[in-house]
């Protein structure tokens, strides 16, 4: 997918942000990425636990952003062919990635330079998004502390980290390698790392099992940050 003008690149960035800002759409895209063959909306709904009409609505947004491709089913028997979906092979182009990077730099620099306490505001924003992004259990269903930690690990994997758990004094440590925010965190650590800590704390608070993120130490080890979890 290639768009040649700055206006088109900006529009693409907006579409990608909208498409990937919803956890359900991310789950649908992940299901298509790991599927061995294209899937229709009904099968996708079964795999991600969503109503057929909801899946169709999410697929429309993903298609508009160029993240999925529809095609009619090849069939020889009578009847209307199903519409099958597959993940786009290369959904991002250089302009889209550059526009996302620029937007992140603009927002991070503004927050770092305009707030009296940028760390607190950044963590507050991270908490709100952590509560929004977490995959919550169905109503009247309990979740264990082990499942809570699994969800934290899953979220980090989803957003490009390579997380590893290890035992530590008084709890567990989440070793976070391959940070997707590393370039920004090097310059705007007072904003980016608190956002990350807030994401963890918002996720844990929303699940409400008593697991807490005590702290996050940026670049604690070569190529890795370390978060400390207690209550597990």
The CATH number of domain 6-87 is 1.20.1430.10: no
| Tens digit of each residue's pLDDT (9 = 90 or more) over 175-196 | 998 888 887 888 899 999 999 9
CATH architecture of the domain formed by 100-230: 2-Layer Sandwich (3.30)
Domain ranges of the chain: 6-87, 100-230
- Percent helix, strand, coil in the chain (nearest 5)? 55, 20, 30
Q: What is the predicted pLDDT for the residue at 1?
A: 42
The answer to whether 18 and 26 are in contact (CB under 8 A) is no
The answer to whether 142 and 149 are in contact (CB under 8 A) is no
Q: What is the predicted pLDDT for the residue at 195?
A: 93
Residue 90's pLDDT band (cuts 50, 70, 90): low
| Tens digit of each residue's pLDDT (9 = 90 or more) over 36-60 | 899 999 999 999 888 999 999 999 9
CB 144: neighbour CB atoms within 10 A?
A: 12
For residues 24-36, give the mean pLDDT: 87
| 6 vs 93 pLDDT, higher one | 93
Is the pLDDT at 19 greater than 90, yes or no?
A: no
Range among 2-6, 65-69, 144-148 with highest mean pLDDT value: 144-148
Is the pLDDT at 103 greater than 80, yes or no?
A: no
Whole-number average pLDDT of the chain: 84
pTM for this predicted structure:
0.60
Residue 98's pLDDT band (cuts 50, 70, 90): low
Q: What is the predicted pLDDT for the residue at 229?
A: 95
Is the pLDDT at 16 greater than 70, yes or no?
A: no
Helices (H), 86-168: 94-114, 118-133, 145-158
């Amino acid at each position: 997918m290639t768009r040649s003008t700055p206006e088109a690149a900006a529009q693409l960035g907006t579409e990608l942000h909208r498409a990937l800002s919803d956890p359900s759409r991310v789950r649908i895209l992940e299901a298509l990425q790991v599927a061995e063959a294209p899937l229709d909306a009904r099968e996708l709904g079964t795999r991600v636990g969503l109503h057929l009409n909801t899946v169709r609505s999410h697929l429309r947004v993903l298609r508009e952003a160029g993240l999925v491709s529809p095609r009619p089913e090849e069939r020889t028997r009578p009847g209307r062919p199903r519409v099958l979906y597959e993940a786009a092979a290369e959904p991002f182009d250089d302009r889209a990635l550059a526009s996302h990077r620029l937007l992140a730099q603009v927002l991070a620099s503004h927050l770092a330079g305009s707030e009296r306490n940028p760390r607190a505001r950044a963590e507050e924003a991270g908490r709100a998004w952590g509560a929004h992004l977490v995959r919550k259990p169905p109503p009247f269903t309990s979740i264990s502390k082990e499942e809570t930690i699994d969800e934290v690990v899953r979220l980090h994997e989803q957003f490009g980290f390579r997380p590893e758990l290890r035992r530590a004094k008084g709890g567990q440590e989440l070793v976070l390698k391959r940070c997707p925010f590393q370039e920004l965190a090097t310059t705007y650590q007072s904003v980016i790392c608190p956002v990350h800590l807030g994401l963890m704390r918002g996720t844990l608070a929303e699940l409400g099992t008593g697991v807490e993120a005590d702290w996050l130490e940026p670049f604690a080890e070569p190529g890795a940050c370390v978060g400390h979890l207690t209550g597990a």
